[in-house]
Structure 1
Amino acid sequence: MDESTKRIIIFDDDEDILSICSYILEEQGWEVHTYTDCNNIIEKVSSVNPLVILMDNWIPDAGGIVATQTLKNDEELKNIPVIYFSANSDIQLLAEHAGAETYLAKPFDLDDLEQIINTVLVKQ
């Protein structure tokens, strides 16, 4: 994989999570794009063309489920794996409902973050 193509988008309204995840992923050679809302999600994702997306459940305005479903209903973007992440106890159900490839429960270990990203990339 060409380093320049390692782009990831994180949708989360928690600035701490964005900065921690960005730092870790940039250390691993990712080009990280972060958004604190999911408005105009098709435009945001299309302009970055990421390999993977991390999607928070409680993101303004529409929320992670609607945002993920919007992506999965788009012909151009539906194959980009979405990792749903949330502190909800029913995260597995939420991720399935949204149509995400997998999920990561918050709070998460940074090793778990690396592992789950690598897992979805291998499946592509």
Structure 2
Amino acid sequence: MKEPRKKIVIFDDDEDILSICSYILEEHGWEVYTFTDCNNIIDKVSNVLPDVILMDNWIPDAGGIIATQTLKKSDELKHIPVIYFSANSDIELLANRAGAQTYLAKPFDLEDLERVINTVLVTQ
């Protein structure tokens, strides 16, 4: 029996990042869902129930910190690891404030992306 594909949700308003990350992750067997804003974030994430979430800091409308905190307050969704990603120099601080499991600084290379995703999957 074939193992179900892992699902990931990416929140980023940069279409280039979404398309690059989607391409790479799909090549590695992921089912990728992308959103350019975090409006109705509980509904968006509940409809997918991903294994991992990638969250940009500057995502419209509420921003990554509030979006992540909203997810972490949901009993149904709080177990899903969130990887915070941003070009902000304070990314570690922002990720901690948001309640994310870990973070990935932009620009990142693809090995970093894979390593961080695999790390949160192992620690789930």
What displacement does 1:95 show?
0.1
Query: Matched residue pairs, number?
Result: 123
Residue deviations 1:6-29 (CA, integer Å, cap 9, x gap): 000000000000000000000000
Counterpart for residue 73 of structure 1:
73
Counterpart for residue 39 of structure 1:
39
- Aligned-residue Cα RMSD (Å) equals 0.8
Counterpart for residue 114 of structure 1:
114
Counterpart Cα distance in 2 of 1:42 and 1:16: 25
Residue deviations 1:44-82 (CA, integer Å, cap 9, x gap): 000000000000000000000000000000000000000
If the length of structure 2 is used for normalisation, what is the TM-score?
0.97
Contact 2:5 2:29 in 1 (8 A): no
Give 4+ residue runs of structure 1 displaced > 3 Å after superposition. none
What displacement does 1:3 show?
4.0
1:1-124 correspondence runs (5 A): 3-124=3-124
- Percent identical pairs in the alignment equals 80
SS of the residue corresponding to residue 65 of structure 1 reads helix
Counterpart Cα distance in 1 of 2:3 and 2:76: 22
What displacement does 1:5 show?
4.0
If the length of structure 1 is used for normalisation, what is the TM-score?
0.97
What displacement does 1:92 show?
0.2
Question: Aligned pair in 2 of structure 1 residues 27, 63: CA closer, same or farther (>3 Å)?
Answer: same
Residue 54 of structure 2 aligns with an amino acid whose one-letter code is L
Counterpart Cα distance in 1 of 2:39 and 2:4: 26
Mark the runs of 5 or more structure 1 residues left unpaired by the alignment.
none
Mark the runs of 5 or more structure 2 residues left unpaired by the alignment.
none
